[in-house]
A = this chain, B = another copy of it.
């Protein structure tokens, strides 16, 4: 089921700036056991993205969005992925936008992807050749300009490789094509700071909170390929997959174990309150 501005509809105006220029944002929300996981965090990031791009997203629009998400979920009888898109709406040709544009809300449900069960015990990843551009004004938010991720994700077809690690053009390790990345080193958790590239994932945010609650030292910092190579544990995370330990990086020819700290965090996630 798809709702566009509250109406059941699967097509959108060609003039929508989401199509014309990627002028919008999206969220991918897990719907499991009849509940939307981390909904308020997803809505916060969406709102932050709208602020950054100067897309109107009023309290009443947010209220409509929540009730539309609810309507879509009521049609579901199994776990699903709820994708929410907000665009600047239909407009004329040209980059300039009008100050009072009617924001477009699109909510769609999708089958929950089925990943190999073994992924929760360990995956193989590769290092992507495609780099992330350095762009502070767009970093962190989940906007619709995703060609870098598309180029990166389509560098490989080998299904035994579950994810690709992306570096930025200054060779800093940032994230996966669809996930955030954490390292463990000297019992400390490390993850990339995302002020100039990358998407600040909702699961990453949860894990930062969980680490704090469990008293695990955490360092949000700059990561190099050498640090990745010499990590004791490595894992990727996102809202749909939770945590996948990385046990092999093909291009670097390094192996890791499914280590104790990763397991502690996986267990903690299983008992987290996803309504928060």
Q: Which A residues fall within an 8 A CB radius of B?
A: 2, 4, 9-23, 26, 28, 53-54, 81, 83, 85, 87, 92-97, 106, 108, 110, 113, 130-131, 133-135, 137-138, 143-154, 169, 177-178
Contact = CB atoms under 8 A, between A and B. Distances in A.
Contacts of A146: 20-23, 95, 145
Given A147-B138, A154-B96, A154-B97, A10 B14 contact: yes
Contact of A106 (B14, B22, B134, B149): B14
Given A21-B150, A137-B148, 9 more contacts: A21-B147, A22-B145, A22-B147, A23-B150, A93-B110, A97-B154, A130-B137, A134-B134, A144-B147
Given A53-B151, A93-B83, A96-B154, A4 B12 contact: no
A42 to B, nearest CB: 15
A154 B154 CA distance: 33
Given A11-B11, A178-B95, A20 B144 contact: yes
Nearest to A88: B150
Nearest to A9: B14
B11 A14 contact: yes
Contacts of A108: 14
A26 B15 CA distance: 13
10 contacts: A11-B14, A14-B108, A17-B150, A19-B85, A21-B144, A53-B147, A83-B93, A95-B154, A131-B137, A133-B133
Contacts of A17: 150
A96 B153 contact: yes
B19 A12 contact: yes
Nearest to A156: B96
A187 to B, nearest CB: 34
B22 A21 contact: yes
A165 to B, nearest CB: 14
Nearest to A92: B110
Contacts of A149: 21, 95
A18 B19 contact: yes
B10 A4 contact: no
Contact of A19 (B9, B16, B147): B16
A56 to B, nearest CB: 13
Contacts of A135: 131, 133, 148, 169
A154 B147 CA distance: 23
Contacts of A14: 2, 4, 9-12, 106, 108
Given A135-B148, A146-B23, A146-B145, A177 B10 contact: no
Contacts of A13: 10-11
Contact of A145 (B54, B134, B145): B145
